[in-house]
Structure 1
Amino acid sequence: MGRLARRRLRFLAVAVFITGVPFLVVQHNMITTEDLQMCAEIRADLQPDVESDFPTVKGVRPRIPHIIHQTYRNETVPFILREYARSFIANHPDWQYKFWSDADGRHLIQERHPYLLQTWDGYQQNIQRADALRYSVLYEYGGVYADLDVENLRPLDRATMKYSCIIPTEPFEHSIFLYNSPYLINNAFIMCRAKHPFFKQVLLNLVKTSTIQTTTADNQVMMTTGPLFFTNEFNNFMGIDQESTNIYRKKTDWSSNSPYFYKGERKEDDEDGIYVPNTRYFTDEVDDYAAGVVENMCKDRFRHCDNVLLQRGCVEAEARGLNRKHRLYTFNGDAANERRATDNRKRICK
């Protein structure tokens, strides 16, 4: 979720890689009987269903500080966004709440990361500064970062105990059908300990990506500070081979109900590890625009039998539906689905 720009999918006869995320593209040949049989046998194996609450441990100090960070370009936050912010405050009366404006962020960058100040000042869009700021405050203070259009549904305390860093993915319907990619790491909601080496890496590489040029402003954000940049940084940190097209390799740590995709060799609860949770806990809602794309592409899914990833996405969508209600163990809701769908429609159809 968060302010995620979409791009139009184009099926070509080659495989291309954008910021390290493999985007498989296929050539539509005549479908054979063997293709149809394979297509019919595909099962959704993106992640297990959720039958229990978020993994936690008792009797220990929280590994993630009880601090909530939110940001906006100034202190005049629109009323509706203030209501969503209050949902976090109401559910966490004993937590510290820190609000950051762009001016606060620049002061933090100047004081703690002066090498980044020129890059910060050079950003052409506010969202780029918002992205850089969330990475900075999480590195310096740790805690929870949430976009202002994320609504909190229940306390996050149990999620702070077992893992040192928790970073969800986008709903798989977004990454598969809008990006033809097995996963996309989300930067709209993040939980992490202070001084985690992943965010040190992220901050250093913001300077390197600041000169990337793209054809649209939205893609500029995605590739310099946003989810494509963030996914690339995740792949680098976790030691995931960015040139490999074997995107169906399975995870090596099976101690939780996290998604099945490969996330490197480090244990999920390692001090420097990153836990990617099941989307049912944090980021399970499919926006309205993406839902329309899914329905259109899956109407005749046998036409895409040569794209196993798309087939698995169709099976997943058919099994779970696209209009998902908040479940028993869901922490957050997407409070801006209609607005986000409108934004995504404009961006991907440019």
Structure 2
Amino acid sequence: MSLVSRNDPGKLVLIILSLLVIVLILHQHNASKRFAVSGDLSESLQLIYPCNPRDPETTTKSTNSTSPDIPNVIHQVWKTADVKTYTTLPFEPSHDLWKSMFRPVNYTVKLWTDDDVLHLMKTRYPWLLSTYEGYPQNIQRADLARLAIVHAEGGIYADLDVYPRNTTVMRCLQDLKLQNIFAPTGGGLGLSNHFFMAERGSPLLLLSLYEAKRRGGPEARQVLLLPYLKVFWTTGPMMVTAAFRKYAWLYEGQGKSVGLLDPSQGFVVVV
């Protein structure tokens, strides 16, 4: 029994298109499973629950006597120096809020433009330049830029739609003396790159840059068809989480130098 009549080519086209969609969905599902990271991250890093600041007197003495391993520098990235062109309606870009909250407590807040990042790539990471320039999407360049910036200078990175809530807790996180601290992805299953902090020259960030270089090759173009999945896998949270797993395996015992904010703790620091 025929599924369609010979006199009804429209139904035949519809069925063919439906089958193609099903094949595409199955293909991307299998690809995402192939590239997904599995396993419990809590066994390899330090989970950070509510960070309780020390008493004000102790904190003041510590701030005046020693410098944190993670510098008091907040990095943000945008195309130009005019952050007003960044739109996430109904919200305003967070750059001015970071400046008003953190400059009075001795933090530097920097905005990196496309020209600044390109100069950094050419002077500090020439081996990454072709990968950076070859990305088809701006978000991929922004993802790579934030890793290179914090690796080069150390400090704290925050997307322009990430808003600070508490300067004291931020300093408390720095006082933990971890090499890297990341916000979690949904459900705490991975490391997110929308908010993180690290020491200058962080080995994990360097490994992440190498991993991004590797994933910038032809494999992603051949296997990953959906743009959002390609971004996540080449430069986003999937890549960073996979780089951490390699780091924890290569440097056994060093994974505990990496902290992951408890999902509830993240909202205490930023929102």
Secondary structure, counterpart of 1:188 in structure 2: strand
Secondary structure, counterpart of 1:18 in structure 2: helix
Structure 2 equivalent of residue 125 of structure 1: 137
1:63 positional shift: 1.5
CA deviation vs aligned residue, 1:312-337 (integer Å, no higher than 9, x gap): xxxxxxxxxxxxxxxxxx0111xxxx
Structure 2 equivalent of residue 151 of structure 1: 163
What pairs with 1:85-234 in structure 2 (closer than 5 Å)?
85-93=95-103, 94-155=106-167, 156-162=170-176, 163-172=178-187, 183-211=189-217, 212-213=220-221, 214-234=224-244
Which stretch has the larger CA shift, 58-67 or 220-229? 58-67
Return the letter of the residue paired with 1:61: S
Quick check: 1:84–1:150 contact (8 Å CA) kept in 2? yes
Partner residue of 1:18 out of 22, 34, 37 = 34
Quick check: 2:211–2:239 contact (8 Å CA) kept in 1? no
1:87 positional shift: 2.1
Quick check: 1:61–1:161 contact (8 Å CA) kept in 2? no
CA distance in 2, matches of 1:73, 1:231: 26
CA deviation vs aligned residue, 1:7-57 (integer Å, no higher than 9, x gap): xx98xxx9x84335129xxxxxxxxxxxxxxxxxxxxxxx99956626999
CA deviation vs aligned residue, 1:183-218 (integer Å, no higher than 9, x gap): 121110011110011111111222210022211111
Structure 2 equivalent of residue 266 of structure 1: 254
1:73 positional shift: 2.1
Structure 2 equivalent of residue 237 of structure 1: 247
Closer, same or farther: CA 265–18 of 1 in aligned 2, 3 Å: farther
Return the letter of the residue paired with 1:276: L
CA distance in 1, matches of 2:54, 2:204: 22
More helix by share: 2
Unaligned runs of 5+ in 2: 1-24, 40-45
Kindly report the root-mean-square deviation, in angstroms, between the aligned alpha carbons of the 2 structures. Answer: 3.1
CA distance in 2, matches of 1:170, 1:54: 25
CA distance in 1, matches of 2:117, 2:140: 12
Secondary structure, counterpart of 2:258 in structure 1: coil
CA deviation vs aligned residue, 1:263-321 (integer Å, no higher than 9, x gap): x63363xxxx2111222221x5xxxxxxxxxxxxxxxxxxxxxxxxxxxxxxxxxxxxx
Structure 2 equivalent of residue 34 of structure 1: none
Quick check: 1:67–1:98 contact (8 Å CA) kept in 2? yes
CA distance in 1, matches of 2:253, 2:265: 23
Closer, same or farther: CA 83–134 of 1 in aligned 2, 3 Å: closer
Larger radius of gyration: 2
Return the letter of the residue paired with 1:275: G
1:79 positional shift: 6.4
Closer, same or farther: CA 127–267 of 1 in aligned 2, 3 Å: closer
What pairs with 1:299-338 in structure 2 (closer than 5 Å)?
330-333=268-271
CA distance in 1, matches of 2:236, 2:50: 32
Closer, same or farther: CA 167–84 of 1 in aligned 2, 3 Å: same
CA distance in 1, matches of 2:48, 2:113: 39
